Amino acid sequence: MKPRMFVVAAGAVLGLLMSPSSLAATEGGPGGALAKKHGAAGVACANCHGAGMPAKSKGRDAALPRLATRTFCLGCHASYQAVAAKTVHYDGWYNPHVSHYGELECYQCHRVHRASELFCTRCHLDMKLPPSWKASRNPADE
Amino acid sequence: MKKTGSGRKVEGGSDEPTGDARPSGLSRRGFLKGAAAGAAIAQGAGLLAGAPSALAATATPERSADPQGARPVPPIGPPSKWDKEADVVVVGTGGGGLAASVRAAEKGLKVITVEKLSEPGGGTKESALFFTFGGTRYQNAIKWAIPKFPYDPDALVELVMPAYQYTADKLLLRALATKGPECVDWMGDHGVEWELNTANDPVFGQGGHIWKNSCLEGNYTRATKHVTDHMYGVAVRAGVEFLFGTAVTRLVQQGDRIVGVRTRNLEGEDFFVRARKAVVLAAGGFAVNRDLLQKYTPYANMGAGSSFGMPCDTGECTRMGIGAGADIAGLNSTAFFDGGVDWVHEKRGTFHQHLYNGSVQLARQPWLSIDITGNRYQYMDSVPVDNLFHQPAVPMSRPGRRGYVIFDADYETNIFKFKQEYCRRPLRPSMPNMDRVPGWLVGKDWREGVKVALDAGVIKQANTIEALGEQLGFAPGVLAKSVAGWNEVCASGKDDPIYGYKPEWLIPVAKPPFYGIRMGGFLYATHAGLRVTPRMQVVSTKGTIIPGLYAAFHTAGGAIGENAVSGASILADNGLSWASGYIAANTIGDGDRA
């Protein structure tokens, strides 16, 4: 069942599109995860989870479908291109939103309730991480 | 003397077949093995022998704090149930993986090929040409071979062994010398539209097989992608099953035999693929894994300012082979180009960079080139092409293992006065075949890459020489003295020939702002890797063949012997991948006989 989406104020949407200069205040920063960032921008739990809020648990329940898909997140975040425009030359030449993997699902990097992981670092071993992000591990090392 | 189309004179050489067809620009030691092995041995011996080292306990840019990047990955036992089954599991879709896939399929074997990226081509697609020293139908048609026509693989092996200081396996080289040209013809039979690169390269062109019209006007960027895309299509039509976005995480072993792989896809789901006959590791080398570099090729790890390994050379399949007991051949052997801009030193970017990035092309020109003491060093022209392998050794062996190029405000004009070719030629949107180059990967205009590097502060810029020297880390007065000396040479028009500069390269550093780039070598391939037999079976540290396990280059190693800092195999690099995958599949199809 697709979670019910409430109309989010334009200001909240703009607040969610972070510029590179505000990377210091990005998701997962001290005291906050992406969920809290959304909350601070006026997006409530039910806006994503709808009526069927999952019970609080320690980890992600693998039986639940992943919410943070491209289709879902781009319901608010305009377009993949708009997101990519915010991370141009993020690390030297490289833009994590423009790659040889095409348009990855958002959840490949962005964890909502815990520290996000930069998918690129599975192979691009020393790409820089936003504050409080973790590097993805090589699958052979997981 | 023979004039090229551009009017430059080329010493000697001839396109006409002669009894001795060796181009004068080729020195056998030159093409095949770059820097003196002596320095490498002196530097690397202590580390290779496991002697305590200042590097052991501390994290530096050259060595991560967590050396798990070099840990062997041991195989696991078979699952209770396999998710998929094949005769052959091929890991990787560069030249080695694609050739192995097609050849195994046409031998009637069921092939499943696993690729961690979302598209085929691996590192090979970034490459330019399949080089052989003769023996293909294309080369036979023009009666060209090294050392002379008709092509004789054993004569070639005898010719090259001194360049490898006799550290290479002659039987392995004989196999490559024999099967390499056969592989070119086989790919031609499968519709690869080969032509020889003679239009672009008057010295080496007869050796280089490129896709027809793919390297017009010397734009080599991603030229081999025509070939990898074509062979991928051949593989699909041959019935090979491809799994993209799927990384191999473990070899599966039963008794002493490798019987399959465990994989993980982008969804994080694990599944097991059975390999009834063989697993072929064709997953590239480890040119971006600094822990493996430190362990098996420490000289390269010290000297590399950047690496072109891209995502393909992370080395986990090498680690899996080691975990299964494989020996390593080709210790301390690697391949470099020049222009390793040192982003890591500046803490502004990653070790991996793209060879065709404009900042690299800018750095690879005959500007004033000095080391940290202010002394100049040699620059080698891009013709003949083997100089591209030699040049990196020069800054890498200087004090601090780095060189610096210094130039002034007119660089955007002056860069074209040097007429450097191949990957040194600055990319411009007007060049043919630029549609091959995605903008997200490499700027279609070389100045884009320069701008990113300038903005990041990796290319230093200052209004005075003194300020530039301070930014680059020179002792006070050193840079000013070097620039003054250089400008005197430029004014006189006469340089000490020891530096190899042509008169037209003597351009003064005069007009602010002034620029400087710190660089080491640009690492692009590792030649240390899993030891293989001439039939591409992986050999253990006990000297036995590991049943069921094969490796293609550059997961395999040893093709250029040991302690070769910057060298090329007799099939260069791209060809080494294709040919070894082809050989592996032949061996498997022939029933795995030793």
pLDDT at B157: 98
CA angle B101, B104, B107 (to 5 degrees): 145
What is the second-level CATH architecture of the domain B27-51+85-289+311-333+527-594?
3-Layer(bba) Sandwich (3.50)
pLDDT at B414: 98
Binary contact (A127, B350; C-beta < 8 A): yes
Query: What are phi and psi for residue A140, nearest 5 degrees?
Result: -70, -15
Using an 8 Å CB-CB cutoff, list chain B residues near A124: 288, 311, 350, 352
Confirm if B431 and B320 have CB atoms less than 8 A apart: no
What residues pair up with B369 in beta bridges, in sequence order?
B405
pLDDT at A80 over 80: yes
What is the second-level CATH architecture of the domain B336-522?
Alpha-Beta Complex (3.90)
A52 interface with B at CB cutoff 8 Å: no
Non-local (6+) Cβ contacts of A47 within 8 A are A3, A4, A5, A6, A8, A38
CB-closest option in A104, A125, A142 to B288: A125
Q: Search chain A and give the residue with CA nearest B264.
A: A139
CA angle B29, B33, B35 (to 5 degrees): 105
Give the Cα separation of B357 and B444 in Å (integer).
9
pLDDT at A59: 61
Q: What is the mean pLDDT of each run of 10 residues along chain B (594 residues)?
A: 34 33 41 43 32 37 60 97 98 98 98 96 95 98 97 98 96 98 98 95 90 93 96 98 97 98 93 98 96 96 92 94 98 97 90 94 98 98 91 96 98 97 94 90 93 95 98 98 98 97 98 98 97 98 97 98 94 97 97 62
Binary contact (B249, A91; C-beta < 8 A): no
- Other CB atoms within a 10 A radius of the CB of residue B496 amount to 9
Q: How confident is the model at residue A92 (pLDDT cuts 50, 70, 90)?
A: confident
Confirm if B145 and B135 have CB atoms less than 8 A apart: yes
Beta-sheet pairing, B130-131 with B208-211: antiparallel
Give me the residues of B, 118-147, that contact A with CB < 8 A. Answer: 118-119
Q: How far is CA B405 from CA A93, B363, B370, B374, in A?
A: 21, 7, 7, 11
Give the Cα separation of B87 and B104 in Å (integer).
9
Binary contact (A100, B456; C-beta < 8 A): no
- Other CB atoms within a 10 A radius of the CB of residue A6 amount to 13
Q: How far is CA B221 from CA A93, B409, B449, in A?
A: 17, 27, 15
Confirm if B530 and B538 have CB atoms less than 8 A apart: yes
pLDDT at A52 over 70: no
Q: How far is CA B278 from CA B113, B253, B433, in A?
A: 12, 11, 39
Beta-sheet pairing, A134-135 with B241-243: unpaired
CA angle A137, B326, B44 (to 5 degrees): 80
Give the Cα separation of B118 and B116 in Å (integer).
7
> Chain A closest CA to B456's CA: distance in Å?
7
Non-local (6+) Cβ contacts of B80 within 8 A are none
pLDDT at B49: 30
Q: Comparing C-alpha atoms, which of B27, B423, B48 is closest to residue B204?
A: B27
Task: For residue range A102-125, list pLDDT tens digits in order.
Answer: 899 999 999 888 889 999 998 888
Confirm if B145 and B133 have CB atoms less than 8 A apart: yes
- Other CB atoms within a 10 A radius of the CB of residue B503 amount to 9
DSSP class of residue B541 equals T
CB-closest option in B117, B316, B352 to A100: B117
pLDDT at A93 over 50: yes
Element (H, E) at B442: none
Give the Cα separation of B515 and B461 in Å (integer).
5
CB-closest option in B249, B312, B441 to A139: B249
pLDDT at A113: 84
Q: Comparing C-alpha atoms, which of A125, A109, A129 is closest to residue A117?
A: A109
Return the SS3 of B352. strand
pLDDT at A54: 63
Location of each CATH 3.90.700.10 domain in chain B: 336-522
Confirm if B365 and B406 have CB atoms less than 8 A apart: no
pLDDT at B349: 85
Location of each CATH 3.50.50.60 domain in chain B: 27-51+85-289+311-333+527-594
Confirm if B237 and B39 have CB atoms less than 8 A apart: no
Task: For residue range B508-553, list pLDDT tens digits in order.
Answer: 999 999 999 999 999 999 999 999 999 999 999 999 999 999 999 9
Give the Cα separation of B509 and B5 in Å (integer).
31
Q: Comparing C-alpha atoms, which of B113, B553, B539 is closest to residue B313?
A: B553
DSSP class of residue A2 equals P
pTM, two decimal places: 0.86
